[in-house]
A and B are shown apart, each in its own frame.
Chain A
Amino acid sequence: MDLIANNKRDVKKSDGNGTLLSVRNLSAHFFTEEGIVRAVQDVGFSIRRGRTLALVGESGCGKTATALSIMRLVPAPQGKIISGQIVFEERSLLDLNEKEMREIRGNRIAMIFQEPMSSLNPVYAVGDQIAEAIKVHQKKGRKEAWADVVEMLRAVGIADPRRRVREYPHQMSSGMCQRVMIAMAVSCEPVLLIADEPTTALDVTTQGKILDLLDELQRQNGMSVLLITHDLGVVAQRADDVAVMYASRIVETAGSRRLFAEPLHPYTQGLWESLPRLGFKGRRLRTIPGAVPEPLRFPAGCKFHPRCPKGRSDERCRSVEPELREVEAGRRVACWHARGYEESQSVKCKV
């Protein structure tokens, strides 16, 4: 396969700053019987070519809804993208019709879903499922596609791929299914891979193998990765940039090293401190009091204020929601109390 040759061409036609995908002011809502769930609110970030951006946050914070918005797979009719812009390779994804979108989805942008076992179709052999994408997008014949599939399975480290292609998902372990998912996702040599909790259901040793595999694929063909996870260890290992989400909004973004060295938002700080690490000495863990607010009952003002050591008693935090501002080059944060926040400009106006 000419993975490398293909992407060299891509790099050439990239725009000046090397941005592959940029998401601006994205909002997606779900209209349910109980009310409007604002799953994604005013979210913005960009992913550079060949780099990995990690989207971090706890369950229900809107990570997956953001990913589905990029793929334009927000389940209709309850779910709807309300506003915003998604620019991928200088094309606005939200303005494409379904046919044009289908050419991008699975081909230029691929996604690995959570829970490999339930994302694969149980009644088709895994080979058929991977071959489908190759046949559709690359217009290859059955024989040719199958040869590609065997090659793909070998590339993702499945032993005896010739036999394995004919097997069904239930005959494989969850680690293997995840490899099959990855093989399917990268089979059309996408330039952007969205990996939604790719290792959450796996054991640490299997997780290690899958992360190494992603690493290698990325190095080989220079694709960008949007990594969605709540595992800070995985973030530290794999991400170049990190965006932290809380209650449907991005509260902080920065380069991985800087974020781990000095988190600015109180939520990020709390998250970092509540994580038990190997070699931790204390008797108690630091915790964030309370729980993540339910999407139908978001508090007014900064959504983190009821759990925040600084915001609980601050009138401004309770009434006015802070927007994301660039406090240093490449560092954005949405907190009234963050260092340098007051003096900074909103990032919203300079799109």
Chain B
Amino acid sequence: MHDGLLQVEGLKTYFPIRKGLLRRTVGYIKAVDGVSFTIKAGQTLGLVGESGCGKTTLARSIVRLVSVTEGRVVFDGRDVLSAGGDELRRLRGEIGLVFQDSYGSLNPRMTVGDIVGEPLKVWGEIGRSEVAERVGALLSKVGLSRHCINRYPHEFSGGQRQRVGVARALALGPKLVICDEPVSSLDVSIQAQILNLLKDLQEEFGLTFLFIAHDLAVVEFFCDVVAVMFMGRIVEQSPAKELYRNPLHPYTRTLISAVPRAEPGVQRPRKLFRTEPLEGSKGVFRRDAQGVLNCLSGCAFYPECPERQEKCLRRMPELDEKEYRRGHYVACWKS
């Protein structure tokens, strides 16, 4: 894979499971388990997967909001994971974040002006009047009136609050914006407004996006490249249109065919998953607290895969081991 604005190599973020009086570590939750990808400047990488697959942890790892176990993150030629103090702060200024919960991520006691202006003040490079000027400009960029400056988050609707979140993310003129489910809590008509806004801003400022979502249609519309995540790993990565035309990984296929089409009469295929029990092979699987069968070695999708074979139990192929077509990678033996 080539150089880009953001390069992630073999990123692993494990959370220890502690038990007992001494809080001894008895195991790890492998939230992100060896993820690599590159985002070129001006591009949008979409990250899709079901809840709990590690999308958000991956995003938080990139800006070091959680501590990373292993791997490398290179942003604009600088190593993020080894950066300290001032350097890290500067890096974070160049990466904007938009969160899913627009209500929870805005401080209810701060006015919109303070929320959007805070990053500018923290940098301390510009005077107070200039901050107000910039905040006004940012708000009108995201389609809010300048008069909103003195209002509080609860006075806004969900869509407007998400606009405030976008304005804050853009305050320091970032190169990369990480959007974690930016539209999933919004109504359909508002969702379209925010998606269009993000597209316009990308064009105007040449932004690069890491766009996390679980809605496949939204991701297809918004992203250039899509990476499909399953149980902490990327199982397939491809240009967006190609992925939907020609999904290779059985998990991707399951995911895409599960989306209910907004056309009556177009039926979803039934029986997406294997349901017959797995025979024999003790010690290879473990049922977790939720009763989901986990594969201890090999491919995590094995228990539900319609196309599984012996080989899959031993090892899951690396994503870049197989390039199916230009830019289309898949971590599956079968494809």
Contact = CB atoms under 8 A, between A and B. Distances in A.
Interface residues of B, number: 46
Interface string A189-213: 0000000000000011111110110
Interface in A242-277: 256-257, 260, 270-272, 274-277
Nearest to A283: B199
Given A208-B258, A236-B264, A274 B270 contact: no
Contacts of A292: 157, 187, 189
A276 to B, nearest CB: 4
A279 B244 CA distance: 8
A279 B241 CA distance: 8
Interface string B50-89: 1100000000000000000000000000000000000000
Given A205-B50, A205-B255, A256 B264 contact: yes
Contacts of A239: 264
Contacts of B160: 291
Interface stretch (A19-27, A116-124, A144-152, A226-234): A226-234
Given A274-B189, A275-B188, A280-B220, A204 B290 contact: no
A14 interface: no
Interface residues of A, number: 49
Interface string B148-189: 000000000111100000000000000000000000000111
A204 B51 CA distance: 10
Contacts, number: 130
B189 A208 contact: no
A36 interface: no
B196 interface: yes
A94 interface: no
A205 B254 contact: yes
Contacts of B244: 278-279
Interface in B187-204: 187-193, 195-196, 199
Contacts of A287: 189, 192-193, 196
Query: Max chain A CB contacts within 10 Å: which of B220, B258, B268?
Result: B258
B264 A285 contact: no
Interface string B244-265: 1000000000111011111111
B159 A291 contact: yes
A260 B263 CA distance: 7
A176 interface: yes
B22 interface: no
Nearest to B183: A276
Among A235, A236, A238, A257, max chain B CB count under 10 A is at A236
B182 to A, nearest CB: 13
A138 to B, nearest CB: 29
B217 A204 contact: no
A261 B264 CA distance: 9
Contacts of A347: none
Contact of A280 (B50, B217, B260): B217
A211 B50 contact: no
A172 B217 contact: no
Contacts of B159: 291
Interface in B237-293: 244, 254-256, 258-268, 270, 272-273, 289-292
A57 to B, nearest CB: 9
Nearest to A232: B262
Contacts of A217: none
B216 interface: yes
Contacts of B158: 59
A279 B245 CA distance: 8
B192 A276 contact: yes
A280 B258 CA distance: 17
B215 to A, nearest CB: 8
B260 A234 contact: yes
B214 interface: yes
B286 to A, nearest CB: 15
A157 to B, nearest CB: 9
Contacts of A139: none
Given A286-B192, A291-B159, A277 B265 contact: no
A233 B261 contact: yes
Contact of A276 (B195, B264, B272): B195
B260 A233 contact: yes
A97 interface: no
30 contacts: A160-B291, A172-B291, A173-B290, A205-B255, A205-B272, A207-B258, A211-B268, A230-B187, A231-B260, A232-B188, A233-B260, A233-B261, A237-B260, A237-B261, A238-B260, A239-B264, A270-B189, A274-B188, A274-B191, A274-B192, A276-B217, A276-B222, A278-B217, A278-B220, A279-B220, A280-B217, A283-B199, A287-B192, A291-B159, A292-B157
Interface of B: 50-51, 157-160, 187-193, 195-196, 199, 214-218, 220-222, 244, 254-256, 258-268, 270, 272-273, 289-292
Q: What 6 A-B pairs come out closest when comparing CB atoms?
A: A233-B260, A274-B192, A58-B187, A203-B50, A276-B221, A208-B258
